[in-house]
Amino acid sequence: MKLIYLFCLLYLGVIANIFAQELLFGSVVRVIDGDTVELKVESLSQRIRLSEIDAPEKNQFWGFESSKALEKKLLGKSVRVVINDVDRYGRTIGTIFVGEASINELMVLEGHAWVYRDYSDDQNLIDLEDLARAGRKGLWTKENPIPPWQWRRERRSQ
């Protein structure tokens, strides 16, 4: 019986640890660009890359506007981050929420970012991008905006 009790405690501890690692709560202290922020969690700062979206680079068309839009939504605000992964640069990849609003979704809906199709097949995000494109919002005011992944590839090859 003690063994079963010990196993249950160990199992609950592992489950609690898994769930604890899936969420972060903190305050956004810096917006780096349209899809990356610095989050202060207690006394530590952590870079967060918004999952499933890709915003224009700073030197790219709509890059400044995208960064400013994210800044307006997040700077100084308390947020919840649902963690999806960690990228090769050590950034936490996640969905950021202010209250119940997904900032990742809002950035796409308002035309400040693309759905990053290499990393997402979320039909809801794709539908939001289609709405932004049809409404010619944000980066979609330009006839054929260049996606950031293509823009970066072209810059590396030069």
Residue-level pLDDT at 58: 92
pLDDT band at residue 85 using 50, 70 and 90 as cut-offs: very high
Catalytic site residue from 30, 47, 80, 91: 91
Mean pLDDT, rounded, for 85-95: 93
Total structural domains within the chain: 1
| Domain housing 26 | 22-141
pLDDT band at residue 147 using 50, 70 and 90 as cut-offs: very high
49 is catalytic: yes
Catalytic site residue from 49, 52, 105, 110: 49
136 is catalytic: no
**Contact status, residue 40 vs residue 29, Cβ threshold 8 Å:** yes
Mean pLDDT, rounded, for 91-115: 97
Tell me the whole-structure pTM to 2 decimals: 0.84
Identify whether 153 is part of a domain: no
**Contact status, residue 79 vs residue 27, Cβ threshold 8 Å:** yes
- CATH number at 73 reads 2.40.50.90
154 is catalytic: no
Catalytic site residue from 52, 57, 110, 129: 57
Mean pLDDT, rounded, for 9-36: 72
Residue-level pLDDT at 13: 45
**Contact status, residue 107 vs residue 52, Cβ threshold 8 Å:** no
Mean pLDDT, rounded, for 135-149: 97
Host H or E run for residue 29: strand 23-33
Identify whether 4 is part of a domain: no
Mean pLDDT of the chain: 89
